[in-house]
């Protein structure tokens, strides 16, 4: 059986390594990117099963990455889990508006990450659940 592929887009090395490590423990092959540009470059050659993306990235934001993914027919289907320390309803609404499937508030546990990833990939709404359905 082919391993699922996750793209983790996070500019903070300890957080990126932690998230990637947790996903590997769940059986994922993981690619990482430090910012929007690196993520776009990665998406030119890979098709991940899920993207886990921090909203606060240097230069372009994670929300701009979501818009890029949703605007490309080759990637528009990929579930996107955005992660952020910002927890306002406005931030969540903006993420949903640009096409994020779920919004995970930082800090979070391994179990919480697993729950969100599982819901996006295997849940009853896995084709494209909204941010609202997976909010805490």
Number of domains in the chain: 1
Q: With helix as H, strand as E and coil as C, how does the chain read?
A: CCCCEEEEECCCHHHHHHHHHHHHHCCCEEEEECCHHHHHHHHCCCCCCEEEEECCCCCCCHHHHHHHHHCCCCCCCCCEEEEECCCCHHHHHHHHHHCCCEEEECCCCHHHHHHHHHHHHHCCCCCCCCHHHHCC
CATH code of the domain in which 10 resides: 3.40.50.2300
pLDDT tens-digit profile of 55-103?
Answer: 999 899 999 999 999 999 999 999 999 999 988 899 999 999 999 999 9
In terms of residue numbers, what domain contains 82?
5-122+129-134
Q: What's the pTM?
A: 0.90
Q: Is the pLDDT of residue 125 over 80?
A: no
Q: What is the pLDDT of residues 1-31, one digit of tens each?
A: 679 999 999 999 999 999 999 999 999 999 9
């Amino acid at each position: 059986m082919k391993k699922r592929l996750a793209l983790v887009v996070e500019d903070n090395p300890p957080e990126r390594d932690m998230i990637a490590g947790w996903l590997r423990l769940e059986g994922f092959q993981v690619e990482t990117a430090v910012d929007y540009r690196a993520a776009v470059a990665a998406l030119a050659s890979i098709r991940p099963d899920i993207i886990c993306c921090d909203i606060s990235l240097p230069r372009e934001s994670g929300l701009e990455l979501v818009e890029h993914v949703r605007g490309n027919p080759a990637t528009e289907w990929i579930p996107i889990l955005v992660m952020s320390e910002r927890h306002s309803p406005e931030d969540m609404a903006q993420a949903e508006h640009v096409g994020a499937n779920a919004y995970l508030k930082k800090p979070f546990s391994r179990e919480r990450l697993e729950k969100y990833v599982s819901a996006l990939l295997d849940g009853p709404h896995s084709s494209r659940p909204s941010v609202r359905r997976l909010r805490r």
